[in-house]
Structure 1
């Protein structure tokens, strides 16, 4: 939260549902066209759903004691991060309001980079929790908490605008997913408040600032980012905060040293080391982690992308499965799609020699034209790599953002 309202709650691994087995009104569109299907209540009527990503209908099932709707499916949940939106303090008659507010929240998140470009790495699920009472424990009702299913309340940890939820109850209603999940709880309140971090991300769903709040709070949750405002605690154990100045960063090659001197694409100035009143340095004069409505600075964008790739592979399951194949099949990899002109790069080799694939998007290679000797085994490898210049840690790119798959074609 902005000054005076800490938005990062105490780290609690139990609250972040990461299973290793693993909403804006219709008139408010995303910043650009999306290749992914949007389904369920609140979806714009004129938004086409391409056949290869269409989900014919919302999948309705029970998680805990509440119906769950998959409102956006970009790919296999085992290789996507699922954002699970739950409501608290919404009665049966107020579920339409929850659906609209949930739609507004996730759409606002997908308007800000890097989430806009990487929205294909996320599925969106809505859990319709019916409350016996309307509203939650707001600031004026300190000490008097209505019996809502998720137990959401302001005055968390003694801070008026810090909004918390019962993490065990929220996880129970969310249910176990097939892949990593982040839980986002919306309170039926128009007050200004929220929280983020390793716990359940929260926001007041009816607040006029709800979209900007989630953009800030999810930075804590997904990117492990710290607050950059002057009154934040003097804790620099975050990728966007430091105790060293720029000169010390360069000398130690620490924190965001690779970004020093680079002009921020959002117009927030040059990346450096700007000292806040609490004595902690931040990368730019301003950002969404300092002022609601801003943008993520470059070190923060890198941190978010890296956290995404720690959970998601750059490719879905190739076809056919890697290993021995016979005949002259078409070999296909399926990079996770990005939004925009840039896509993940695919390079092919045959017995170590680079070849150009037939597909315009480089996603498949037809082995029929290859001059293969009868009885000879040929190794074909496809390497998928995210070449974004929002990541400067090349060791990380090689380890997490690059994946090679190989087939042995038996002639």
Structure 2
């Protein structure tokens, strides 16, 4: 499906009170490498003031795949030397700019987690290349668990941002300037692999999608680099990741970043010079001051998983080091994706990701609306993740023969043509073994009810 959709809203970045807005590119191995303090604030906000142009973001960047992280502060807007590189689009180019395409659509946007890809450095003639890159990147991201088990919860959209020139600034050399829609550029803040964007421009394009819960900017480049902005907009999308379109490691940018934005997970690497953490108990679900024994006795955080074999290797416990500190903070496993690029999410991490998915999506979705009555012979279809099961009932009584069916008609369920009012209800429950938290488990059941006409 391909169509042009008007922008439904103007996205603004919400400043988090007291808040941490972290930009993460790739996970890293633990290292005793000098580093600046972890990001602790967002300087500036979308306040409409004269100082908006001076807004900055704290960012985390990585100089090579699996390299050691650093922190710096970068402008939210485009540097003047890049902003000046601009010519107006032609009429035909402008007509294509902002087109929205459905890459994956599993159900209504209200029921799904909507991922929006925006391209940069793709000319009008290269938009099909952008669409192919989106499909490739989504295949890579959704091959990682728990994405792989929950593909039915996602819609994926591609927003065409037409650039005057192909490629992005800073590729291959620092002095290369290209006229692109989002002003993507390497050598951000003088750091070669840090791939920054004009966040306001990104937001204006993301707003054209029917819904934006997570945004990925694909920059037309083979060069290694990226970034991942962990922020929440006023319209609800969680995070912006930037990645090179044709670099083999770039999909890990988005995977690691969504650990922050969707899973609300902390980084699990640390620096020797940070010493011992002495602050309050961290809010993130994968970081604690407690030992494994204390977690179990106090029934805190990931205690339900302790002793179980984790997909990232080894058993779940309480491993010293995390959240940048080598001492005073423990993490669930030795080496998950929140510590090292290319690893799996740990068992507690997977549960946190699933919780994040369900903050945006519902277990049960249907293209058949419930606001109007359906006929006896009309098909009612539902979608649900692979770990979920569905039951059907008529007037409150389950039709056991219909268990597991994803398409039924009221007549096939036994609704009689008797002129009386009847209801059909579908109830879905996600039975995944990847969730142990009872509070989350309660959110894993959903139902829809339809009125039936003769």
TM-score, normalised with respect to structure 1: 0.71
Rounded Cα–Cα distance in structure 1 between residues aligned with 2:292 and 2:309: 15
Partner of 1:20: none
1:105 aligns with 2:151: no
Given the superposition, is the C-alpha separation of residues 316 and 103 from structure 1 closer, same or farther in structure 2, using an over 3 Å criterion? closer
Q: Equivalent residues in 2 for 1:307-318 (5 A)?
A: 307-317=356-366
Is the CA contact 1:80–1:180 (under 8 Å) kept in the aligned structure 2? no
Equivalent position to 2:203, from 142, 146, 171: 171
1:227 aligns with 2:267: yes
Given the superposition, is the C-alpha separation of residues 410 and 244 from structure 1 closer, same or farther in structure 2, using an over 3 Å criterion? same
Q: Deviations over 1:97-150 (max 9, x none)?
A: 544433321111011111111112112222232323444344997798755321
How far residue 185 of structure 1 moved from its aligned partner, in angstroms, is 0.6
Rounded Cα–Cα distance in structure 2 between residues aligned with 1:243 and 1:145: 47
Rounded Cα–Cα distance in structure 1 between residues aligned with 2:143 and 2:400: 35
Rounded Cα–Cα distance in structure 2 between residues aligned with 1:206 and 1:9: 32
How far residue 402 of structure 1 moved from its aligned partner, in angstroms, is 1.0
Partner of 1:404: 447
Equivalent position to 1:270, from 308, 315, 337: 315
Secondary structure in 1 aligned to 2:214?
Answer: strand
1:207 aligns with 2:239: no
Between 1:245-254 and 1:387-396, the stretch displaced more is 245-254
Where in structure 1 are there 5+ consecutive unaligned residues?
15-60
Q: Deviations over 1:13-49 (max 9, x none)?
A: 97xxxxxxxxxxxxxxxxxxxxxxxxxxxxxxxxxxx
Rounded Cα–Cα distance in structure 2 between residues aligned with 1:230 and 1:104: 32
Rounded Cα–Cα distance in structure 2 between residues aligned with 1:387 and 1:260: 21
Secondary structure in 1 aligned to 2:262?
Answer: helix
Given the superposition, is the C-alpha separation of residues 304 and 115 from structure 1 closer, same or farther in structure 2, using an over 3 Å criterion? same
Equivalent position to 2:155, from 110, 123, 126: 123
Equivalent position to 2:431, from 382, 387, 390: 387
Where in structure 2 are there 5+ consecutive unaligned residues?
1-25, 47-92, 232-238
Secondary structure in 2 aligned to 1:191?
Answer: coil
Is the CA contact 1:332–1:365 (under 8 Å) kept in the aligned structure 2? yes
Rounded Cα–Cα distance in structure 2 between residues aligned with 1:250 and 1:63: 60
Is the CA contact 1:63–1:174 (under 8 Å) kept in the aligned structure 2? no
Given the superposition, is the C-alpha separation of residues 246 and 158 from structure 1 closer, same or farther in structure 2, using an over 3 Å criterion? farther
Given the superposition, is the C-alpha separation of residues 378 and 139 from structure 1 closer, same or farther in structure 2, using an over 3 Å criterion? closer
How far residue 390 of structure 1 moved from its aligned partner, in angstroms, is 0.8
TM-score, normalised with respect to structure 2: 0.65
Partner of 2:219: 187
Given the superposition, is the C-alpha separation of residues 178 and 131 from structure 1 closer, same or farther in structure 2, using an over 3 Å criterion? closer
1:70 aligns with 2:102: yes
How far residue 357 of structure 1 moved from its aligned partner, in angstroms, is 3.3
Secondary structure in 2 aligned to 1:66?
Answer: coil
Given the superposition, is the C-alpha separation of residues 407 and 82 from structure 1 closer, same or farther in structure 2, using an over 3 Å criterion? closer
Is the CA contact 1:226–1:289 (under 8 Å) kept in the aligned structure 2? yes
